[in-house]
Amino acid sequence: MASVTIADVEKVYADGTHAVKDLSIDVADGELLVLVGPSGCGKTTALRMVAGLEEISGGTISIGDQVINHLDPGERDIAMVFQSYALYPHMSIYDNIAFPLKLAKVPKAERDEKVRRISKVVGLDEHLGRKPRQLSGGQRQRVAMARAIVREPQAFLMDEPLSNLDAKLRVQMRAGIAELQRELGVTTLYVTHDQVEAMTLGDRVAVMRKGYLQQLAPPEEIYRRP
Ligand code: ADP
Ligand code: ADP
């Protein structure tokens, strides 16, 4: 675990779109910070720059005190969950979650211990022998999160992870995510366009508009605009 610092970051796309302007956000160690704002304000671009999926045009991004600007995604100790995620349909839930550990050649006993621990936290420990198609949408989303986080990355990024779920499930999962984050204490940057989601989940909320950071405060201090 470590803090994530976005300092004076700019993004200008090849076509000249200035998507992120002088963005500075620090996510404290163990904090869940929600980045919220209307469609097109630059949230996803910001997240993708932290993940290393998009080059930054200026500024610095650090994890702890290490500047990561020039690291490839695979060299960053960061996990990411998107709104569309794919589980391996032919693998059991256990094997889906264990997959990143296998890739990282984590020894079997340790792998087993980690998969069991994370499965308990996300409430999937009863379902490890099933296949993805035997689970509900919300359960599958939790598998995707468990798989992303099982390697215990320094930071966890989520981009609208609940947007494909129905309203009822979204509310349930919201509570689940807050719990998961508290339990694991992993530094998390969470992107959504949903103000209610932002206010419910965030230790602090960063509001973006047209590429700029408009506000950064605990939810109770966020000034809402129509
Ligand atoms: P959000 O996640 O808040 O909806 P995005 O980060 O996706 O916003 O987009 C911010 C701005 O950058 C938008 O104007 C969008 O059209 C533009 N944009 C996103 N990706 C690209 C790209 N690959 N090339 C050019 N412009 C882009
Ligand atoms: P490998 O392919 O390296 O043999 P497996 O994925 O078959 O590894 O199993 C590794 C370990 O994971 C097993 O020893 C077992 O403890 C555990 N395991 C595998 N599948 C399940 C499951 N469905 N439920 C609970 N534990 C499982």
Distance 101 CA to ligand 1 centre (A): 33
Q: Mean pLDDT across the stretch 51-79?
A: 95
The response to whether residue 16 sits with its C-beta less than 6 Å from ligand 1 reads no
Identify the pLDDT of residue 71.
96
Distance 168 CA to ligand 1 centre (A): 29
Q: How big is the chain, counted in residues?
A: 226
The response to whether residue 124 sits with its C-beta less than 6 Å from ligand 2 reads no
pLDDT (tens digit, 9 = 90+) per residue, 161-200? 888 788 888 888 888 888 888 888 899 999 999 999 999 9
DSSP of 141-190 = HHHHHHHHHTT--SEEEEESTTTTS-HHHHHHHHHHHHHHHHHHT-EEEE
Identify the pLDDT of residue 45.
97
Question: Percent of the chain beyond pLDDT 70?
Answer: 98
pLDDT (tens digit, 9 = 90+) per residue, 129-138? 999 999 988 8
Nearest-angstrom CA–CA distance, 192 and 36: 5
Question: Percent of the chain beyond pLDDT 90?
Answer: 72
The CA-atom distances, in angstroms, between 159 and each of 71, 86, 126, 129 are: 21, 14, 27, 28
Task: State the chain's maximal CA–CA distance in angstroms.
Answer: 53
Identify the pLDDT of residue 225.
61
Q: Which atom in ligand 2 lies closest to the alpha carbon of residue 102?
A: 3
The response to whether residue 39 sits with its C-beta less than 6 Å from ligand 1 reads yes
| pTM given for the model | 0.84
Give the pLDDT band of residue 88 (cuts 50, 70, 90): very high
Q: Mean pLDDT across the stretch 60-66?
A: 96
Identify the pLDDT of residue 173.
82
Nearest-angstrom CA–CA distance, 83 and 158: 8
Q: Which of 88, 103, 108 to mutate to test the pocket of ligand 2 (most atoms within 8 A of CB)?
A: 108
